[in-house]
Amino acid sequence: MVRSAAVLAVSLLLGAGFARPQSSPAPGVIDGVVSDTSLVSLSGASASLVGTSLEVVTGANGRFRIVGLPAGQYILVVRHIGYASSSTVMQVASGDTLRMSFALRPVVNELGTVVVAGKRLSPKMTEFEDRQKLGFGQFMTQAEIGKRNSVFVGDLVRTFQSVDVVPRGLFGEVAVSRRFGRCPFQVFLDGVALPAPVNLKDLPSPKTLAGIELYSGPATIPLEYKTSTGGFCGVILVWTKDGP
């Protein structure tokens, strides 16, 4: 009788099946290569994901690999001393491997006309200075950013006129317009439009920035940064330094 009961219990367990833990989604991978504009591999370039502590360095063949990424959207920044940095927004799918290539443009150093060594500005910062001379928008230079010694970009943005930095969720903060019903600003990182609304705490550390521009309305926004999907409330352009 006891044996029959034991057999019955085993049969019931087999019939019902054992509870199995659900497998978690497979992580994603970013597999990249960094070269110069002549397609010569660059070793020692850094690749980092904005808003995370993840950072890897390219090997002798210019390749890097970031593994174990949960599915989602990321901003990848690639830097190398003597080259203009490059940023891109990417969507990592579960179990997928993204293959990326970056061709960094060299930043040329040149001597001044007398005895002072001068550094030619990268194209993005030349454009920054040209727009600053036109007198439209608000600007914060690398020197001004350094003097403020801020921890987050939001601490810098809130010093501009016509903008408020408001909390979003538990740890986020967003730049909104005072003029247009507190709608969020469109944010560009090194010329790449970021999905709105942007959590300012996800942007690179102020220590890595070369400049910030803010345009508080559509009339002053540079033509190349007027988009069909945003920017009516205003645009913030964030520029990183060239090199780590």
How far is it, in rounded angstroms, from Cα 29 to Cα 18? 33
Lowest mean pLDDT among 43-57, 180-194, 220-234: 220-234
In order of their start, the domains of the chain are: 28-104 (2.60.40.1120), 120-240 (2.170.130.10)
What are the residues facing 164 on neighbouring strands? 176
How far is it, in rounded angstroms, from Cα 139 to Cα 128? 9
How far is it, in rounded angstroms, from Cα 240 to Cα 244? 9
Task: Give the chain's mean pLDDT.
Answer: 84
- CB burial readout 128-154, b (16+ within 10 A) else e: beebeeeeebbbbbbeebeeeebebbb
pTM of the shown model: 0.67
pLDDT tens readout for residues 42-88: 999 999 888 788 889 999 999 999 999 999 888 898 989 888 888 88
pLDDT tens readout for residues 2-37: 455 444 444 444 444 445 556 678 899 999 999 999
